[in-house]
């Protein structure tokens, strides 16, 4: 089993869209997949057209078995949902013994092929729990100065966690909302590649269909499988970037 978190301490960078899109992509490729929502906004379930539910609260605070609190969203794809009760989860973890591994202790008993964790942008005990549970971290980022600064912040936090003995297998940076026309976008992705090299994955183009899909309770694969966010942009007769190409990279990490 591989546990992969999607983290950036800045909001609005496409974490939930990436978790939902790549999660269902993995499920369609035959991977038994669990999506864990650590954000009190509960947008993972919402993106599948499901009601927000206190699944994480029931697991950690009420100590119900995982199989009773997960929701099946699609074939091969389950969700551990979240809602406003997740704020109480943070307080419960704060007073727990060995609090950094509370989430991991629950997840390591599962039989999924892969678990994707959607992290809230805030830095708190739940955020630290998500990172401690992770084998790999994907850092989605808009291509603007403030969001890219969030990449540096999450890498600093990962460094602190690594110094406490947690061994990450690796991390990657996922540029989102890519726009080839905007000068700042091109400059920021160039700087990212110069700083992090092959750790920078193919960018996901900006696409309004991502918001539309969530509003209809559908994934991009269901709502607009040929949209730019999925297929990427065309350059020299090739399609580059997009979630389809990112999914290929993710499968390599899992395998």
Question: Given this structure, which CATH class describes domain 2-254?
Answer: alpha beta
pLDDT of residue 66: 94
| pTM (2 d.p.) | 0.95
Residue 40 sits at the vertex; the CA angle it makes with 38 and 42, to the nearest 5 degrees, is: 85
Quote the CA–CA distance of 120 and 113 in Å, as a whole number.
23
Cα distances (angstroms) measured from residue 104 to each of 53, 83, 148, 238:
21, 20, 28, 41
- pLDDT of 18 above 90: yes
Beta strands in 55-207 (DSSP E): 71-74, 77-80, 114-118, 136-142, 170-176
What does the alpha-carbon distance between residue 142 and residue 150 come to, in Å, rounded to a whole number? 10
Integer CA distances (angstroms), 255 to 113, 165, 172, in order: 10, 24, 16
Tens of pLDDT along 65-121?
A: 999 999 999 999 999 999 999 989 988 888 877 788 899 999 988 999 999 999 988
Q: What is the pLDDT of residues 144-195, one digit of tens each?
A: 878 788 888 999 999 999 999 899 999 999 999 998 777 778 888 888 999 8
Question: What are the domain boundaries of the chain?
Answer: 2-254
Q: What is the pLDDT of residue 5?
A: 98
Q: Which residue has the higher pLDDT, 124 or 222?
A: 222
């Amino acid at each position: 089993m591989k546990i992969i978190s999607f983290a950036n301490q800045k909001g609005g960078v496409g974490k939930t869209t990436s978790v939902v899109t790549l999660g269902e992509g993995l499920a369609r490729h035959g991977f038994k997949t669990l999506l864990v929502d650590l954000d009190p906004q509960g947008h993972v379930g919402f993106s599948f057209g499901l009601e927000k539910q206190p699944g994480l609260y029931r697991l950690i605070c009420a100590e119900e078995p995982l199989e009773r609190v997960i929701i099946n969203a699609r074939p091969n794809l389950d969700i551990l949902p979240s809602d406003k009760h997740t704020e109480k989860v943070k307080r419960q973890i704060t007073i727990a013994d060995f609090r950094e591994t509370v989430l991991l202790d629950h997840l390591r008993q599962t039989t999924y092929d892969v678990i994707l964790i959607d992290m809230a942008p805030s830095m708190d005990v739940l955020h630290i729990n998500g990172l401690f549970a992770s084998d790999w971290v994907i850092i989605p980022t808009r291509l603007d100065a403030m969001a890219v600064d969030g990449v540096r912040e999450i890498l600093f936090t990962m460094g602190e966690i690594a110094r406490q003995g947690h061994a990450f297998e690796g991390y990657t940076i996922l540029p989102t909302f890519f726009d080839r026309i905007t000068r700042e976008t091109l400059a920021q992705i160039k700087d990212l590649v110069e700083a992090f090299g092959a750790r920078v994955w193919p960018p996901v183009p900006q696409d309004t269909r991502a918001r539309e899909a969530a509003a209809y309770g559908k994934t991009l694969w269901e709502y607009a499988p040929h949209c730019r966010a999925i297929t990427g942009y065309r350059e020299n007769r090739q399609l580059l970037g997009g979630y389809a190409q990112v999914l290929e990279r993710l499968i390599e990490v899992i395998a």
